Chain A
């Protein structure tokens, strides 16, 4: 049973558009919510992370929105670029990290 549910499974966005990926969790003990980006042939790499004491965190074009009461969080990629094409994983942790199923993002030029 997946502890972190991620959607959509795949996403196609035009260059300059906004990419939105959503995740939901059940375990209220989770206290760290990162997003990882993975390119083909590479291991995942940390993109941005949030802790539950804030509702939003922004780093450049990447923003995490966090809704503690709904137990949901999302990644927004503004002005999406072809170089953003990758697989994105949300995760949640309370000592050990659990990952969502992944979203394959394709940004068309």
Chain B
């Protein structure tokens, strides 16, 4: 069965810390995405990647960066965590453009 695995289910960090959220997919998908989910705002696209070492900004990239060194792994980096980055972070992958997204279970990040 297809699988998108996010490294942590819950994470608590302090303001100013550098935070890494890891995502791995086992489907040989080309595309990978990072969203954050907040009540009343739905899912907002942070960054996405169509290929290894490629990245594109989504709607809310400020304060985030990403890394895709291998096809199966897409990392989201918070360079200096702030309280307004407390959120549920969802990773997804797809085979191609305009294709079904497969989501991980999410990482609930709290920044104190």
Task: Name B45's contact: one of A9, A49, A94, A97 (CB within 8 Å).
Answer: A97
- Residue tally, chain B, CB below 8 Å to A: 23
Q: Residue A62 at the B interface, CB < 8 A?
A: no
In the complex, the answer to whether A43 meets B33 with C-beta atoms within 8 Å is no
- Please, how many angstroms separate the alpha-carbon atoms of A34 and B58 in the complex? 19
- Please, how many angstroms separate the alpha-carbon atoms of A42 and B90 in the complex? 10
- Which residues on B sit within 8 Å (CB–CB) of A66? none
- Residue tally, chain A, CB below 8 Å to B: 26
- Which residues on B sit within 8 Å (CB–CB) of A9? 40
Q: Residue B101 at the A interface, CB < 8 A?
A: yes
In the complex, the answer to whether B105 meets A42 with C-beta atoms within 8 Å is yes
In the complex, the answer to whether A98 meets B45 with C-beta atoms within 8 Å is yes
**Given contact pairs A31-B98, A41-B105, A43-B92, A96 touches B56 in the complex (Cβ within 8 A):** yes
Interface, chain B (partner A; CB < 8 A): 4, 33, 35, 40-45, 48, 56, 58-59, 90, 92, 97-98, 100-101, 103-106
